[in-house]
Structure 1
């Protein structure tokens, strides 16, 4: 018969005192004002405002770091629901008093104008249901687009060369009987573009070179072929 002997776990007096003191300090810390958030730093925001993110998290100077760390997943989900343009959000602490909120945003692909208000468009053509009195940043305005075509056009815009994207001011859905895919584009440099949604991505890369050769502001027609002509002088 094998007899198993119980091992005795011995804790030294000094170790026991240290553990007790540590627990007391921990309880005192989380029970005092020192455990409350002192400063909040928001990292990674581009089109969103830092205060906008803080407001959505519901974190203020009465919030404790322990509560934030314990409930960080639910806080993240609530914030992402309040601000759909947020792709992900995480929290980390500094100095046991300060909080850093790291944010990753979905890229903004422009704005659509409806009923006197602007609405942000993010990847996949998703329209954020939050009214804005004016657009922000250097993004295009989409006009006269239905949901399906808006999704397609915004995805096309996302894949344009950066030197072309920054010059796009407004994109109009402008179909005709002969070409239901026709679009018109106002450029920030004063020129206008006529194009076909099916070929605009491949053809717009030639825009900078064509615009540089134009002696006057005018229209660059990329619908069939590629040529330009100046605006008619107003009499």
Structure 2
């Protein structure tokens, strides 16, 4: 009886061992990638030294600046040497500085942070002042930048004039005719504040275009409620302060029909007539 031939299966040892070999290879790679403890400590020490250096630099820088500021404050350089006034064209600068309470021995920084206090103190003496801002020039020169209320007109005060300010107050300075803005209207004949207050309220209610045409407002009238306006075009308007604001819109229409140098009466209804020679002289119309 013949023996059966056994089948021999060939095994590739590399194939059988490859999972094991790959596993070992991966472990070795991971081990090689894992940072060494000494390297991590060195990096940590470097970061700490860097952070310490930065913090130390900041502390030294702030301390240096603080020492400089303190040295400046206690030195004579911090004392006010000059006070300069800008923006107050009609206000006496020397008197303004005296009334401000600023002294040569005062520190500059004292006033840079007290502009509201300065404004309040000086506006009480000078109604023209709206606001004061303070700046420093050349370490110890104080500059007062004065912002004034706008002048909407001028009130006659004897032979001189004072500003009528946009806040309704009268300016402190008495000005000559050559010193005023002659494009602004002149208010004459006002001896009582109440009268000026009412007429000023009426004037401010007029449209801008009409206000720019007014040359003069007069309270020298027969009745307290009456007002006279002399216009730049040579016409004269008479009206009642309670009703003129509503009627003024018809001025341009009436003046076209009336012509130049006419008296336009808005008190009761509306009518016009030419000015006589006496009226022209009285109102300064040539």
TM-score normalized with structure 2 length = 0.60
SS of equivalent to 2:123: helix
Please say if residues 53 and 79 of structure 1, whose CA atoms lie closer than 8 Å, have aligned partners that are also in contact.
no
SS of equivalent to 2:217: strand
Report the counterpart of residue 5 of structure 1 in structure 2. Answer: none
**Structure 2 CA distance for partners of 1:38 and 1:117, relative to 1, 3 Å:** closer
Report the counterpart of residue 86 of structure 1 in structure 2. Answer: 129
Report the counterpart of residue 56 of structure 1 in structure 2. Answer: 96
Mark the runs of 5 or more structure 2 residues left unpaired by the alignment.
1-51, 279-286
Report the counterpart of residue 144 of structure 1 in structure 2. Answer: 189
The alpha-carbon deviation at position 61 of structure 1 amounts to: 10
TM-score normalized with structure 1 length = 0.71
SS of equivalent to 1:203: helix
* 1:141-161 superposed Cα distances (whole Å, 9 cap, x missing partner): 222222211111012112211
| Structure with higher strand content | 1
How do 1:188-207 and structure 2 match up within 5 A? 188-207=232-251
Moved over 4 A (4+): 32-42, 50-55, 57-65, 92-104
CA distance in 2, matches of 1:25, 1:215: 75
Equivalent residue in structure 2 for 1:17, among 60, 73, 96? 60
Report the counterpart of residue 9 of structure 2 in structure 1. Answer: none
What CA RMSD, in Å, does the superposition of the two structures yield over aligned residues?
3.8
* 1:94-135 superposed Cα distances (whole Å, 9 cap, x missing partner): 997897766554343322223222122234643334322226
CA distance in 2, matches of 1:22, 1:50: 42
CA distance in 1, matches of 2:251, 2:134: 44
SS of equivalent to 2:127: coil
Count of aligned pairs between the two proteins = 219
**Structure 2 CA distance for partners of 1:50 and 1:36, relative to 1, 3 Å:** farther
The alpha-carbon deviation at position 81 of structure 1 amounts to: 2.3
Which of 225-234 and 109-118 deviates more? 225-234
| Structure with higher helix content | 2
Q: Which has the larger radius of gyration?
A: 2
CA distance in 1, matches of 2:265, 2:113: 58
